[in-house]
Chain A
Amino acid sequence: MRARTPVDGDADAGLVDDLRRAIGADAVHAHALDRALYARDASTIDVGVAAAVCFPTDTAGVAACVRVARRHGRPFVARGSGTGLAGGAVPLDGAVVISTTRMNAIRSVDVDQRVAWVEPGVINLDLTRSLLAHGVHFAPDPSSQQACSIGGNVANNAGGPHCLAYGVTSAHVLALEVVLPDATVTVLGPQDGLGDVPGLDLRGAFVGSEGTFGIATAVAVRLTPNPPAVQTMLVDFARVEDAAAAVSAVIAAGVVPAALEMMDARITRAVEDFVHAGFPTDAAAVLLVEVDGLPGGVAADAALVAEVVRSHGARTVRVAADDAERALLWKGRKTAFGAVARILPNYYLHDTVVPRSKLVEVLTQIYAIADRHDLLVMNVFHAGDGNLHPLLVFDARVPGTLDRVHAAGAEIVAASLAAGGVLSGEHGIGLEKRDFMGLLFGPDDLDAQARLRAAFDPDGLANPAKVLPAGSRCADLQHVPDGVWV
């Protein structure tokens, strides 16, 4: 993947001047290095070139940037922390990048009402840390939570281990202050975060729209009380099939754990080498199961989980004795990607969802697909949701490797869809999976989505060419960037 026509520096001078006039010279970076730094996100897609990178400090600044971009007929792209894995924040066509890193204030916290208004650049984990004293937290906890922004979470409708019981980001976003693509500022959803507003759920439509419906400049998030009791269990299996069957059985038994994560043998060994948490390195698969709530119910649920997993062939059930051990187990899970970096320099993290009952079937196919393409695959994923995360580990310096990775990726998507699944559970579509959308949706379905987008962004300047493939709508003029592999 190589950059398409680079943006002509001179042609951009007027644009950059106008942006500087709008929000201040030091808030607009336009050197080649800055533009290159913001050319990509955490995905393997590098087709972008930014015209300029803007760092507004408030909503009016965001609106001003959007106005200038419009005046120059330029697209604009919101950017949070750039941890996105679908190429959502990649600037195409010399787009103006609008970074939210200087918008990281927590505007208000109302513990009685369990609502906080936060700016989009607030880092997910910082929000939860700042709420510690209040006994509440922000429930969505992506594995990238140390780095990703709330705005990025909203735009991608992020998930995470605890979304099994608590729901994805959309369930925790009560209202949004946004700059719409025509540069107007408004609030979608109830002004004070609570209550119903008449009319359509525009808040809900905006969540997950990947920056193509406008830019969120403040988010009213729901605050969840910290559970009084938590039990975290590490369960190990000699057979992957048994682990996957145990996942379904736990849910069928009427327990919805707060989290239910699965790691295969390869990733377990990599993690253990890295964090030394006592993960069983001879297991075919381990489950990390967490139940939370009031103490009586937690004890009952934990006992039931132990019984169910044992009857499905679990070898051992290790219950974290205290918070420290619990934290260690979670550290193993959340640093799995870091552990992988010690094996080979590059990885491609996939994200599809299948029905829980199809976990074994699709996992087996994934191992076979990786074998066929001579690639190493590791699996660490949100099993309770059926949300697979095959991790293809490789060395990009070996010629031809990236092509094999992408070919394997496409086959993994096909296998997941054939099992009745969907393209993405939490990373989004962006550029990465845009051209797979037609595998999941028919022309009429895509047309309906394109119409919803047109309602928000009639001129198509908000993060264009993302999410929907060209031609989703009749007379679609969306341009297809060269060199995008999908």
Chain B
Amino acid sequence: MTGRSALEAFASEVGADGPVAVVGGRTAWDVGGEPDADVRLVAAPVGVVEYEPAEMTVRVGAGTPVAALHGVLAEAGQITALPSGSDGAGATVGGVLAVGRSGLDQLRWGPVRDALLEARYVSAEGRLVKAGGPTVKNVSGYDLCRVLVGSLGTLGLLGEVVLRTRPAPPCSRWFAGAADPWSVRSALYRPAAVLWDGSTTWVWLQGHEVDVEAEAAVLGGLGFSPVDGPPVFPPHRHSMGAAALRTVAGPFLAEIGTGLVHREDPPAPAALPDAVVALNRRVKAELDPTGRLNPGREPLQAMA
């Protein structure tokens, strides 16, 4: 069962009262805190509903494993911005969006949040609500999709989404060397990722074979050689400006140009401006006045 009837069944399962949480592949279940003990668990509809490669969009149930979606897209030579790193573990489309972490190649292809064009979600009142629209360009009304991404299911439970797709890069290769990551980045045209641990720089090139070859030659001149992939990532994500990176102590792995730094230690709680905290609370209070959606989860703590 996919499409309209699956969505309606999902909405009636969620119902209009009582604490409820939606479960995906449980691969990021504790991000932002575990759900309260008395929470009823539901699962979102599964399956690709509509896929037109020439539209570069796909409509898919939010409970669909990312790997299954990417399998369907691969047949048409396409991909989404949902991180392919989560494929193997069983992460779902809805889970990835609800957590909102971008893939390693966001430097080139943009963050996960830009992939979401339309969401049909179940509101706190148990109603099916549509946010956004199915076309790649759309400024019809407020961009509710943006606040749903990264909201950990606290504003609405995603049932079905329309995602932007793009052609899969025909060639994808990793390199490592010792040059300064910022000068490496400017020597290249839009690399997919540049990583740095304070001494080694890793570069991910994606695109046409000829272009990757040409840039591989540039990298060769800087003393880089091909490697299988990125190094192992330390478990915790921090946000850090370039200046801070130059002086940071202890082991780290930085995603150059994104402000993200992976470290062994959890980040200190972020000191957000009061006005921003207040806005977060007001959005939650407006969209889930009784606090029944994913109680126990707090997006404001989701960096940890």
Cα distance A168–B186 in the bound complex, in angstroms:
24
Are A197's CB and B214's CB within 8 A? Answer: no
- Residues of B contacting A382 in the complex (Cβ-Cβ under 8 angstroms): 137
B268 to chain A, nearest CB (A): 11
A461 contacts partner chain B, Cβ-Cβ < 8 Å: no
The reply to whether A254 and B167 form a contact with Cβ atoms under 8 Å apart is yes
Picked from A113, A355, A424, the residue with its CB within 8 Å of the CB of B139 is A424
Interface pair A294/B279, CB less than 8 Å apart: no
Surface stretch bound by A, among B2-10, B15-23, B195-203, B235-243: B235-243
| Interface 9-mer from A75-83, A96-104, A426-434 | A426-434
CB pair B144–A449 under 8 Å, yes or no, is yes
Contacting residues of chain A (48-101) with chain B, CB-CB under 8 angstroms: none
- When chains A and B are docked, how far (Å) is the Cα of A444 from the Cα of B130? 8
Interface hits, B82-102 → A, CB 8 Å: 100-101
- Distance A228 CA – B239 CA, assembled complex (angstroms): 31
A113 to B137, CA, bound (A): 27
CB neighbors of A among B271-294 (8 A):
272-273, 275-277, 279-280, 282-283, 285-287
**A377 vs B223: C-alpha distance in the bound complex, in angstroms?**
59
Contact: B137 with A385, CB < 8 Å? yes
* Contact between A437 and B140, CB atoms less than 8 A apart: yes
In-complex Cβ contact of A201 among B150, B213, B277 (8 A) = B150
Determine the chain B residues whose CB is within 8 A of the CB of A108 once the complex forms. none
B260 touching A251, Cβ below 8 Å: no
Which residues from B are CB-within-8-Å of A420?
A: 134
Cβ of B150 and Cβ of A422 under 8 Å apart?
no
Q: In the complex, which residue of chain A has the Cβ closest to the Cβ of B243?
A: A192
Complex interface bits, A173-207 against B, C-beta within 8 A gives 1, otherwise 0 = 00000001000111110101111111111111101
Chain A 356-396 near chain B by CB (<8 Å), digits 1 or 0? 11000000000000000000000000100111000000000
Given contacts A157-B139, A297-B208, contact A184 B275 (CB under 8 A): yes
Cα of A218 to Cα of B190 in the assembled complex, Å:
26
Kindly list chain B residues whose C-beta atoms are within 8 Å of the C-beta of A399: none
* Total A residues in contact with B, Cβ cutoff 8 Å: 92
Q: In the complex, which residue of chain A has the Cβ closest to the Cβ of B107?
A: A114
Candidates A167, A197, A200, A456; contact of B151 at CB < 8 Å: A200
Known: A293-B207, A297-B210, A444-B128. A429 touches B140 (CB 8 A): yes
Residues of A within 8 Å of B149, CB to CB, are 201, 204
Chain B 96-132, CB within 8 Å of chain A: the 1/0 string? 0000110000000010011000000001010111110
Residues 126 to 160 of chain B near chain A (Cβ within 8 Å): 127-131, 133-147, 149-151, 155-156
For B63-81 the 0/1 string (1 means CB < 8 A from A) is 0000000000000010000
Cβ of B301 within 8 Å of any chain A Cβ, yes or no, is yes
Q: Are A170 and B286 in contact (CB under 8 A)?
A: no
- Which residues on the B side are within 8 Å of A387 (C-beta)? 137
Interface residues of A in 239-280 (CB under 8 A from B): 248-249, 251-252, 254-256
Tell me whether B302 is interfacial, beta carbon within 8 Å.
Answer: yes
Instruction: Contacts A167-B110, A294-B208, A449-B141 given; indicate if A196 touches B239 (C-beta within 8 A).
Output: yes
CA distance A433 to B110 in the complex (A): 30
A112–B146 CB distance below 8 A:
no
How many residues on chain B are close to A (CB under 8 Å)?
80
A445 / chain B contacts, CB cutoff of 8 Å: 129-131
Say whether B141 contacts A468, CB under 8 Å.
yes
B210 and A425: CB pair below 8 A?
A: no
Is there a chain B Cβ closer than 8 Å to A234's Cβ?
no
A293: chain B residues at CB < 8 Å are 189-190, 207-208, 211
The answer to whether B151 touches A425 (Cβ under 8 A) is: no
A423 touches B110 (CB 8 A): no
Among A192, A199, A440, contact of B140 (Cβ-Cβ < 8 Å) = A440
If A199-B299, A225-B189, A453-B142 touch, whether A168 touches B137 (CB-CB below 8 Å) is yes
When the two chains form their complex, are residues B189 and A227 in contact, meaning their CB atoms are under 8 A apart?
Answer: yes
A454 to B146, Cβ gap below 8 A?
no
Given contacts A196-B239, A452-B142, A202 and B276 within 8 Å (CB-CB): yes
- A331 at the A/B interface (Cβ < 8 Å)? no
Contacts of A256 in B (CB 8 A): 56, 166-167
Asked, given contacts A114-B257, A199-B280, whether A357 binds B140 with beta carbons under 8 Å apart, the answer is: no
The answer to whether the Cβ of A353 comes within 8 Å of any Cβ in the partner chain is yes
Cα distance A208–B138 in the bound complex, in angstroms: 10
- Tell which of B36-44, B47-55, B225-233 binds the partner: B47-55
Q: Which residue of A lies closest to B171 (CB)?
A: A297
Q: Which 4 A-B pairs rank lowest in CB-CB distance, beginning with the nearest?
A: A204-B146, A195-B239, A194-B259, A296-B210
Given contacts A199-B302, A467-B141, 17 further A-B contacts (CB under 8 A): A196-B237, A200-B147, A200-B299, A205-B144, A208-B143, A293-B207, A296-B210, A297-B211, A355-B55, A356-B54, A386-B135, A386-B136, A440-B133, A444-B123, A445-B130, A452-B147, A452-B286
30 contacts between A and B (CB under 8 A): A113-B241, A113-B257, A168-B139, A195-B241, A195-B260, A196-B303, A199-B272, A199-B302, A200-B283, A205-B143, A205-B146, A251-B54, A254-B167, A295-B214, A297-B207, A353-B135, A356-B55, A357-B52, A385-B136, A423-B140, A424-B140, A440-B133, A441-B140, A442-B130, A444-B123, A444-B127, A445-B131, A448-B131, A449-B141, A456-B282
